[in-house]
Amino acid sequence: LERIEETEPKLNAYITVTDEKARRKAKVADEELTRLSEDEVPELFGIPISIKDNINVENVRMTCASKILENFVSPYDATVVKRLRERGAIFVGKNNLDEFAMGSSTETSYFGPTRNPWDLERVPGGSSGGSAAAVAARSALASLGSDTGGSIRQPAAFCGVVGLKPTYGRVSRYGLTAFASSLDQIGPITKSVEDAAYLLNVISGQDSKDATSAKVPVPNFLEALNGEVKGLKAGVPKEYFIEGIDPQVKESVLNAIKLLEKLGVEVREVSLPNTKYAVETYYIIAPAEASSNLGRYDGVRYTFRAENYKDLIDMYCKTRAEGFGDEVKRRIMIGTYTLSAGYYDAYYLRAQKVRTLIYQGFQNAFSEVDFLVTPVTPETAFKIGEKTDDPIKMYLSDIFTIAVNLAGLPAISLPCGFDDKGLPIGVQLIGKAFDEGTILKVANVLE
């Protein structure tokens, strides 16, 4: 909490700090500790964790960084939060994000941008920028973020920390505010690969409250860390080393690949031919789902309602016009358009077919290799304001992370070097569905 006080004036990584609650919990924990024997102490006992502000924590404000939820206080815990709480974690606050997790820079937040701890003139990435900045600045030991198209991995790369997007269905989405339900997953942002494994152990597993959470066994990911990497096969997709990628990013990632080879990993080139359609496909599917999911913010439920209106329809219109920011409105309009009669077949249905092709491309690659190695981002952290006037430029910053969500696969981003400005560079490891163990194991040796 002292560290938060020290860093927040510069970073703005938190929307809400649950100072008093956390202190009270810590005091109780201190007392409890004197009574408990060593093996009675739960594995996250007293560990200070922050949570992205689109995930519900009971009796704490949850804003999604939007005016429309500015004063919404959550009546319940998300399943992930409940599971962390049961293991003794203490929540220190709610992290800043792009409004409704739509963005790659944390600049669309109603509560102002978060700054990158490595260079305060630069963005921390997004949308989980507050989480990544907090972990990088040590104002949280770990955080939970959400990843719809890269929102855990890209900010982790920009801030020099570890970010893991689990397989779709590995972690319950109950209590995560829906953005694009077929793509959203919650995952850990941490200082180390080991911490990511700790958190994944706790938050994973089927949940009766989320019908898309998968009934598959959850291995012990900490044990997975100790395995051998020798003999594993790594694929390097040639489509991920395109023109336009910063040469320093490319070099650092290639160095990581060389290191893997030295450790006995067999490296081969693979092809993911439909990669070039991933961003376009995502920007049809994600806004389509968002336009439907965000229909619930109507001024009747939740908190914000416009003041002067003539009738019900006028109240809806004014509430949404005043409550949502520009990027959210843009997504709602695109989504409403692509789902409308007459355009549905040409856009939404077509995008779903391309999504299947992208998925099949990964399946083909995984018939040859155990995991894939790619850059996380084409460049290191950009300047605040640099891309805000050009949504397409902003969308392209997720070019290497988005296909993973379309295919539902797990992927981890971890630091692999610095550029000449001293900014962190990340490398991405993509795994087979439900095989987070392999990418964690490989990440652990690369760290």
Residue numbers annotated as active site = 52, 127, 151
Binding mask 90-119 for ligand GLN (x = CB under 6 A): -----------xxxx---------------
**Residue of the chain from 74, 96, 116, 127 that contacts ligand GLN (CB under 6 A):** 127
Provide the b/e sequence for 72-107 (b: ≥16 CB within 10 Å). bebeebbbbbbbbbebbbbbbbbbbbbbbbbbbbbb
How far apart CA 431 and CA 166 sit, in angstroms, is: 9
CB of 148 to ligand GLN, least distance (A): 3
Residue 398 or 435: which CB sits closer to ligand GLN? 398
Residue 132, judged by CB atoms within 10 A of its CB (0-12, 13-18, 19+), counts as buried
CB 104, min distance to ligand GLN, A: 4
Residues 6+ apart with CB under 8 A from 169: 212, 213, 214, 216, 408
Q: Which of 77, 147, 239, 370 binds ligand GLN (CB under 6 A)?
A: 147
Number of residues that bind ligand GLN (CB under 6 A): 13
| Residue 44 vs residues 49, 200, 306: alpha-carbon distances, Å | 10, 12, 43
d(CA 273, CA 357) in angstroms, rounded, equals 9
Tokens standing for residue 447: 């760290």
Nearer of residues 103 and 166 to ligand GLN, judged by Cβ: 103
Contacts 24+ apart (CB under 8 A), 41-47: 41/88, 42/86, 42/87, 42/88, 43/87, 43/88, 43/198, 43/202, 44/84, 44/87, 44/88, 44/89, 44/198, 44/202, 45/87, 45/88, 46/88, 46/90, 47/88, 47/89, 47/90, 47/141, 47/142
Cβ proximity to ligand GLN: between 105 and 319 the closer is 105
For residues 201 and 401, which CB has a smaller minimum distance to ligand GLN in the complex? 401
Contacting range for ligand GLN; rule: CB under 6 A; set: 35-43, 69-77, 142-150, 250-258: 142-150
**The only residue of 113, 149, 235, 299 in contact with ligand GLN, by rule CB under 6 A:** 149
Which of positions 19-78 make contact with ligand GLN (CB under 6 A)?
none
Pick 151 or 172: Cβ nearer ligand GLN = 151
Stretch that binds ligand GLN, among 12-20, 30-38, 144-152, 201-209 (CB under 6 A): 144-152
Give the one residue of 113, 150, 188, 361 binding ligand GLN; rule: CB under 6 A. 150
Q: Taking a C-beta distance cutoff of 8 angstroms, is the pair 142, 135 a contact? A: yes
By beta-carbon proximity to ligand GLN, the closer residue of 102 and 365 is 102
Computed on alpha carbons and rounded to an integer, the radius of gyration of the chain in Å comes to 21
Comparison of 147 and 210: residue with beta carbon closer to ligand GLN: 147
Stretch of 31-39, 147-155, 221-229, 381-389 lying at the interface with ligand GLN (CB under 6 A): 147-155
Q: Please identify which residue in 16, 56, 116, 148 interacts with ligand GLN, judged by CB under 6 A.
A: 148
- Tell me the C-alpha distance between 199 and 205, whole Å: 12
**Residue numbers 176-195 binding ligand GLN by CB under 6 A:** 179
H-helix or E-strand spanning residue 390? none
CB 111 to ligand GLN: min, Å: 17
Q: How many CB atoms lie within 10 A of CB 431?
A: 24
Report DSSP letters for 263-298, one per residue.
TT-EEEEE--GGGGGHHHHHHHHHHHHHHHHGGG-S
Site string for ligand GLN, 349-388 (x = CB under 6 A): ----------------------------------------
Contacting residue, 151, 172, 281, 428, with ligand GLN by CB under 6 A: 151
According to CB under 6 A, which residues from 389 to 408 bind ligand GLN?
A: 398
C-alpha 408/C-alpha 34 separation (Å) is: 44
281 binds ligand GLN (CB under 6 A): no
* Closest distance of CB 54 from ligand GLN, Å: 9
Which is closer to ligand GLN, CB of 47 or CB of 412?
412
Separation of alpha carbons 197 and 48, rounded Å: 16
Binding site for ligand GLN (CB under 6 A): 101-104, 127, 147-151, 179, 286, 398
